[in-house]
Amino acid sequence: MITAIVFIQADVSRLSEVAEQIAAIPGVSEVYSVTGDLDLVAMVRVRENDDIARVVADQLNKVAGVVSTQTQIAFQTFSQHDLEDAFSIGL
């Protein structure tokens, strides 16, 4: 599983609508409304690298109200669950 984190600047007058449309795209697992320089953050989880282009470039970027995006690809995933498993086997 490949995880991409997509930082999104959007038309703030349409933020809820944009977020809902992005969340409906297959491969997008979550969309967060955030504070700061960004408006939304989308988590994209797909099987292959080519799928990221299909989700982000072919669909997400074309949602009306998306102004710009920046995509980060995750190399490793760390979570509390992962840490508990590692400690239980003595790492």
pTM, full prediction: 0.85
| Mean pLDDT, range 39-55, rounded to an integer | 96
Domain that residue 10 falls in: 2-88
| Mean pLDDT, range 55-84, rounded to an integer | 88
Rounded CA gap, 87 and 81, in Å?
10
Phi, psi of 51 (to 5 degrees): -65, -30
Per the CB < 8 A criterion, the answer to whether 8 and 66 are in contact is yes
Rounded CA gap, 12 and 31, in Å?
15
pLDDT at 78: 78
CATH number at residue 66: 3.30.70.920
15-31 confidence digits (pLDDT tens):
999 999 999 999 999 99
Q: How many domains does the chain have?
A: 1
Question: Taking 60 as the threshold, does the pLDDT of residue 90 lie above it?
Answer: no
Indicate if the alpha-carbon torsion angle 67, 55, 64, 39 is positive or negative. Answer: negative
